[in-house]
Amino acid sequence: MPDEIKQKEALIRVITLAQQWSGCNFLRYNPGTLERRVGRRMIDARCQNISEYLDFLERHPSEYHRLVAGLTIKVSCFFRDPPMFSILEKVVLPRLFAQAKDSGRRQIRVWSTACAGGEEAYSLAILFAEQTKLISQVSTSILATDLDPDALASAATGLYPDDSLREIAKMQRDRFFVSSPATDGEFWQIRPALRAMVDFVVFDLTSTTRTSPPSGIFAEYDLILCRNMLIYCQPSLKLEIIRRLHTCLRPGGYLVLGRSESLPEEYKNHFVHIDQRVKIYAKEE
Ligand SMILES: C[S@@+](CC[C@H](N)C(=O)[O-])C[C@H]1O[C@@H](n2cnc3c(N)ncnc32)[C@H](O)[C@@H]1O
């Protein structure tokens, strides 16, 4: 068998094993990204090619954990995509508070679906904490989920390097973070009141057994963010994930995607694109 085909088959076998180990449907992610990610694991494991890495994986079961963690990209920072957060703050949040008030609801429910180390969820917590100061009758509950338990464990400690706070004004930083002297370099820790606004739970967006995390109920969320995860999915998986998020959103609720992501054709009529500069969509009432 030509070597190229052998390597392709070995790659599919590696992805299949990662899928069986984690339950996540990696075979429906973009093959190019997966190949690059497996390539990094190969280098760390000092393997010359994918067939060698496959042998390594079969001989070292502890590698599964690193492989699955390595298949996804965790890059994030606070207020990543500032124009989007500005429109959330100035347009979306006031509407959500008004909707809650008009319908007599006392709580706004938010879901950050692929939250990595928690930066996105805490950025939302900051925006809501500032608005709640003004509108005290309505509370906010933020659920932050991710496939990767290690990323969530780190999110729960709420400790971040100075660089990931680069989009936060000094006043906001001092209000919501404390400088952490226990670490090398400059690190900041989320203050307990902000920490208490966010629940971190493992949830796989490709799950075929659950539409939403255990606490989720049909059409319950007011605001859902799914940013910079769909770019790694093949179109059919992306469509399924959007279908699930559409189901979980309350009519009139908002869906936010990443800058280089967009709604599949099939869902363009189910949402109103509220501002062409950013990927924020309102679910049709
Ligand atoms: C690049 S980060 C995005 C972080 C944040 N949303 C942002 O835009 O800054 C992508 C995240 O998607 C998560 N992810 C990948 N596949 C997932 C899945 N099937 N279910 C839930 N999270 C997933 C990864 O673990 C990673 O933390």
Q: What is the pLDDT of residues 26-44, one digit of tens each?
A: 999 999 999 999 999 999 9
Three-class secondary structure of residue 122 per DSSP: helix
In a mutational test of the pocket of ligand 1, which residue from 66, 119, 145, 146 has the highest number of ligand atoms less than 8 Å from its CB? Answer: 146
CA of 137 to the centre of ligand 1 (A): 33
Percent of the chain with pLDDT over 90: 87
Q: Is 152 in the pocket of ligand 1 (CB under 6 A)?
A: no
Burial level of 197, CB count in 10 A (0-12/13-18/19+)? buried
* pLDDT (average), residues 216-226: 83
Q: Is the pLDDT of residue 116 over 90?
A: yes
Segment 64-88 mean pLDDT: 96
DSSP track, 210-245:
-SS-TT--TT-EEEEEE-SSGGGB-HHHHHHHHHHH
Checking if the pLDDT of 1 tops 90, the result is: no
Under 8 Å between Cβ of 254 and 109: no
Among the atoms of ligand 1, which is closest to the Cα of residue 116? 27
- For residue 3, the CA-to-ligand 1 centroid distance in Å is 33
Pairing of the two strands 198-202 and 139-146: parallel
With bands split at pLDDT 50, 70 and 90, how would you rate the model's confidence at 183? low
258 ligand 1 Cβ < 6 A: yes
154 CA → ligand 1 middle, Å: 14
The pLDDT of residue 194? 95
> Which whole-number Å values give the CA distances from 36 to 4, 32, 33, 62, 156, in the listed order?
16, 6, 5, 21, 29
For residue 101, the CA-to-ligand 1 centroid distance in Å is 32
Instruction: Tell me whether residue 21 is exposed, middle or buried, using C-beta atoms within 10 angstroms of its C-beta: 0 to 12, 13 to 18, 19 or more.
Output: middle
Q: What are phi and psi of 226, to 5 degrees?
A: -135, 85
Residue type at 4 in one-letter notation: E
- Give me the domains of the chain, ranges plus CATH numbers: 3-70 (no CATH), 82-283 (3.40.50.150)
CA torsion angle for 203, 204, 205, 209 (degrees, to 10)? -100
Mean pLDDT of 106-116: 96
Letter for the amino acid at 235? P
Is the C-beta atom of 81 inside 6 A of ligand 1?
Answer: no
Closest C-alpha to ligand 1, atom 24: 72
State if residue 109 touches ligand 1 by the CB under 6 angstroms criterion: no
Query: How much is the mean pLDDT over the chain?
Result: 93
pLDDT of the residue at 137: 82
Identify the band that residue 249 occupies on the pLDDT scale cut at 50, 70 and 90. very high
pLDDT in tens, 224-243: 999 999 999 999 999 999 99
Q: How far away, in angstroms, is 180 Cα from ligand 1 center?
A: 26
DSSP annotation of 284 reads: P
Q: Is the CB of 228 under 6 A from ligand 1?
A: yes
Helical spans, DSSP H, in the chain = 3-22, 31-44, 50-59, 63-70, 82-87, 93-102, 119-134, 149-157, 170-176, 192-195, 235-248
What is this structure's pTM?
0.95
Look up residue 89 and give its DSSP letter.
I
Task: pLDDT band for 213, please (50, 70, 90 cuts).
Answer: confident
Burial class (CB in 10 A: 0-12, 13-18, 19+), 60: exposed
Cβ–ligand 1 distance for 151 under 6 Å, the answer: yes
